[in-house]
Structure formats: structure tokens, C-alpha cells
């Protein structure tokens, strides 16, 4: 199955991302469960967390070369918005 690509990502309150996909759907994704993993610990810094960007092609959101979250994860585990 092909998953929709990411058009935009905005960091909002409480370590949550607001993701818009290329199928015009939006989802909220809670990053808090990932913060316990060492790989994602830098996201505890609010300024760093707000610096989220969409990877070229829309296959992931990224913060730096070491921290990313795939479109699959965001789509499957994000909460749909009306």
C-alpha cells in the first residue's frame, strides 16, 4: 500500500505535530512516547522541536540528519482531524 506524502508539518503545543498530507487530510501526531528513546531525546528542547521540516519528497519529517519520523508512522499512528 502506498501512503500519502507529507505536504506540511507544524510543531504545536505539548510535543504534538500537525501534519497535512497530499490527500488533503490532516492528522495530529503525539511525539511524547518517542521522547523516552535516546535517539529522540533532543526533541525535549522546545526550540529544536519547533524546527521540524518536511523531507524533500514528503517521505518524512526531519529535525537533523539523525532524527526523522516516516510518513508511514505519521499516517498510521496520527489522529485524524475533521
pLDDT band at 81 (very low <50, low <70, confident <90, very high): very high
- Domain-located, residue 62: yes
Overall domain count for the chain: 1
DSSP 8-state class, residue 73? H
| CATH number, residue 41 | 3.30.2020.10
Cell numbers representing residue 27 in the block = 492528522
pLDDT band at 58 (very low <50, low <70, confident <90, very high): very high
Q: What is the mean pLDDT of the chain?
A: 96
Are 76 and 22 a contacting pair, CB within 8 Å? no
What residues make up the domain containing 18?
6-80
| Bridge-based pairing state of the strands 68-70 and 79-80 | unpaired
Residue 30 is predicted with a pLDDT of: 98
- Domain-located, residue 59: yes
Amino acid at each position: 500500500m502506498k501512503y500519502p506524502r507529507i505536504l506540511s508539518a507544524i510543531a504545536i503545543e505539548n510535543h504534538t505535530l500537525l501534519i497535512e498530507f497530499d490527500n488533503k487530510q490532516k492528522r495530529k501526531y503525539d511525539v511524547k512516547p518517542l521522547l523516552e528513546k535516546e535517539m529522540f531525546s533532543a526533541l525535549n528542547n522546545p526550540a529544536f522541536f519547533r524546527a521540524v521540516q518536511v523531507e524533500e519528497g514528503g517521505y518524512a519529517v526531519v529535525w537533523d540528519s539523525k532524527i526523522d519520523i516516516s510518513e508511514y508512522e505519521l499516517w498510521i499512528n496520527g489522529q485524524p482531524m475533521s
